[in-house]
Amino acid sequence: MDLNEMRDRVRSVKAPGIDDRIPYNRTVEDLIAAVKIEDARDNKTLRRSMIFFAGAGVFYAALFLLTFIAPPDDSPNMHRMILGLFAFTFLSIGMYSRMNSRRLTGLDYAEPARAFLDTAEKRYRIVQVKSLLFGVPYLLILMVTCAFAFLTGMERYFPSLEPRVGIVLFAIFFLVVVAVGLLFGWKEWKRRKAPLLSEIREMRVHLNNDSR
């Protein structure tokens, strides 16, 4: 069944939370238009992210190479490791953003209805396997890199401070930053993605019931 055939069969699909007595007239075309707008917004964000992280990666890579021309006065190898890890992490995030941007650009909104709804539902879930497989390792790398940078700075500017105190301070800071980031990410998903995801799932249920 393609989108045109499906159009006349889902005129009265109701969104979650809407009273049964109130008709909900979102058509397939309306839903696709809403998904297109949201995907375009995501694509724009990904392109900005690609530019930002690629630029940051190039900047840290330049600083890394500069340490071989003008080595730091203290711990040059430590500085190189930190700068190299920052460059690798930011460049990788930039490449990942570019890959996702190209994936969104290549989406086919004219594909059969079932396939369209399946891919859209996976794309709008709050937890995505591909994102976890990429994000968790890089979050660990970023944590270790930031920890080295933080402790190196503490040792240089606060030499009397015990290392374990610096570790505790960094752990608190990093956990707060991650928690705030996750909270804002969840609120943004709930505001933009959750309503569309609910409609997509309702449309799939209605289609499956119609095909029986």
* Number of other CB atoms surrounding residue 151 within 10 Å: 17
Tokens, residue 211: 């095909």
pLDDT for the residue numbered 160 = 83
Q: How is 19-40 classified by DSSP, letter by letter?
A: -TTS-----HHHHHHHHHHHHH
Amino acid at 153: G
User: What's the rounded Cα separation, in Å, for the pair 24 and 49?
Assistant: 37
Read off the pLDDT of residues 75-120 as tens digits, 9 standing for 90 and up: 788 889 989 999 999 999 999 999 999 999 998 888 887 788 888 8
> Pick from 87, 13, 30, 82: which is nearest to 53 by CA?
87
Nearest Cα neighbor of 54 from 104, 95, 6, 9 is 95
Q: How far apart are CA 105 and CA 65, in angstroms?
A: 35
Domain boundaries, the chain: 3-210
Q: Cα dist. 140→103, 113, 136, 200 in Å?
A: 26, 39, 6, 34
Report pLDDT for 133.
Answer: 85
Q: Which of 41-45, 166-170, 201-205 has the highest mean pLDDT?
A: 41-45
How far is it, in rounded angstroms, from Cα 11 to Cα 156?
A: 67
Q: Considering only CA atoms, which of 113, 117, 120 is closest in space to residue 8?
A: 113
Q: Which one is predicted more confidently, 207 or 201? A: 201
> Binning pLDDT at 50, 70 and 90, where does residue 210 land?
low
Q: Is the pLDDT of residue 122 over 70?
A: yes
Confidence category of residue 70, pLDDT binned at 50, 70, 90: confident
CB atoms < 10 A from the CB of 94, how many? 20
